[in-house]
Amino acid sequence: MAVLTAIREWMTHQRIDAMLISSKPNKLPHLGFSSSSGYVLITRQHAHILVDFRYYSDVAARTHGYQLHRLEAGRDMPGIVNQIAQEEGLQRLGFEGEHVSWQTGCDWQKALHPSLVSVSLDALRQVKTADEIRLIREACRIADATADHIRRFIQPGMREREVAAELEWFMKQQGAEKPSFDTIVASGPRGALPHGKASEKVIIAGELVTLDFGAQYQGYCSDMTRTFLVAGRFAHPEMSPLYAVYQTVLEAQLAAIAAVRPGMACQTVDAAAREHISRAGYGPNFGHNTGHAIGIDVHENPRFSPTDTTLLRPGMLLTVEPGIYLEGEGGVRIEDVVLVTDSGAEVLYQTPKTLLMTGEA
């Protein structure tokens, strides 16, 4: 497996003999599903999975090339790892210090015979494999279909929670396991809340409504934001008092996407969006990063932030999502997932980004 080869090469640079993986996102490529239970132990000779009876048969059916060990009373993780360490001569054992509590780390230090070294595997997930890209594409397809459906569904008089419920149900009908995160539906003045989760507020004709949502598909996430104009008051979108704000956000987002290419620093992409919004006079109204990597977790590193100097590489997937938020009036955010290609960026969504009205065919 490519993932095992990559981990073993990384282990050589880290000067460790084995890696004990306990976090959900870093176990998923090995287990084949997301679970907080169990462990994966990668050594230079073998790959081991330690799970209890609840998951043993499922893991056995999903995985190949791993040695399975059953966790049970009297046969816990430290005992199995110590046995493997003795058989394979393991001296230095890496563990995910940033994902393990201080107490757990202390307990492992006492119970495990190899010396423990705190390391981070997260950087290995920055460039996605072809299989991972395929799964994220499908998660994005589900979000795309959902955006089209929910725009037609929204009518004045509906409550934000009603819209969120329909949106999440439709995503599951399209094949999503669950939402990637709590769905945001922020209409009218609540659009000024960047993370305005769906509330009991009634959606009113002529308001803007921002929807930020994502689908989880086979453990991988999508993340999408579209802002629509609620039908029933204006004959054309250009009549909305926030139309100019919308256009500013759209231009900033397109400028940031145009800056995405291999070798470009993340902070430069952020600057492309931020400078456009600042020139339009809305700099203080854009207070978050321009985007973030996405994969098993909806928020991963690197980030399109003013301080992230990470250089983009082909196979990275990140969101581009600038916004403007005006307290008491509303807000606009537009978000796509983009794939860094050999020569630039590919946007994984097809839903138009011109200001569209709800309810229209």
Query: How many other CB atoms are there within 10 angstroms of residue 284's CB atom?
Result: 10
Q: What is the CA radius of gyration of the chain?
A: 23
Q: Which residues pair with 18 in a beta bridge?
A: 43, 93
Say what the alpha-carbon torsion angle 231, 237, 239, 241 is, to the nearest 10 degrees: 90
Write the Ramachandran bin of 30: left for phi over 0, alpha for psi from -120 to 50, otherwise beta: alpha
In the chain, which residues have pLDDT < 70?
Answer: 1, 361
Q: What is the pLDDT of residue 2?
A: 75
CA distance linking residue 52 with residue 73, whole number of Å: 10
Instruction: Calculate helix-pair angle for 77-88, 102-111, nearest 10 degrees.
Output: 50
Q: In what order do the strands lie in the sheet with 47-52?
A: 67-71, 47-52, 39-43, 18-21, 92-96, 115-119
pLDDT at position 123: 87
**CB distance 211 to 147 below 8 Å:** yes
Question: Dmax over Cα atoms in the chain, in whole Å?
Answer: 75
Q: Identify each DSSP E strand in 46-152 by its residue range.
A: 47-52, 67-71, 92-96, 115-119
pLDDT tens-place string over residues 185-237: 999 999 999 999 999 999 999 999 999 999 999 999 999 999 999 999 999 99
Tokens of 191: 């659009």
Confidence (pLDDT) at 361: 62
Q: Which helix (H) or strand (E) holds 270?
A: helix 266-279
Q: What pTM does this model have? A: 0.92
202 CB neighbour count, 10 Å cutoff: 14
Q: What is the pLDDT of residue 165?
A: 98
